[in-house]
Amino acid sequence: MRLTITAIGRVRSGAERDLVDDYLSRATAAGRAIGLGPVGESEIDNRSLADRTAESKALADAIPAGAKCVFLDERGKDLSARDFAAKIGGWRDEGVRETVFLIGGADGLDHSVLPQPDLVIAYGKTVWPHKLVRVMLAEQLYRSVSILAGMPYHRD
């Protein structure tokens, strides 16, 4: 099952970009043997998008037909690493071909123009900068793959 982070804006070169690339690369390599991957990223240029609604429409247009859709939103569920991995593993086992993780712009997501999500997750009640959210999601995807593959990366 393909896993894709689809986000408004770019993460330019630097520490955050290096971390995202590293975790996505690790997740892809580790996931091959267990039917997960590639794990990738799609960035939507927001310079010509007027507002949150336009950004969310652009995100909606980027969702492949039949894909599971996960929103990152401060009002979402705070899942443990094992619960997140179990959700991804369950979708893989059901035969889902792709899961897309949506990260909105600075004003978040306009749910009224997006499809009904299969899951809405949050990283606590705190609002995080978008660059860091992308790093944290990339790491959690790698962690989920490592949990499902029985690798020692995650420790309880």
**Binding site for S-adenosyl-L-methionine: residue ranges?**
72, 104
Main-chain phi, psi angles of 59, to 5 degrees: -65, -45
| First vs last C-alpha separation in the chain | 26
Distance CA 36, CA 28 (A): 7
Residue 5 contacts residue 40 (beta carbons within 8 Å):
yes
Distance CA 142, CA 44 (A): 22
User: 19 is written with which tokens?
Assistant: 């971390």
Annotated binding-site residue numbers: 72, 104
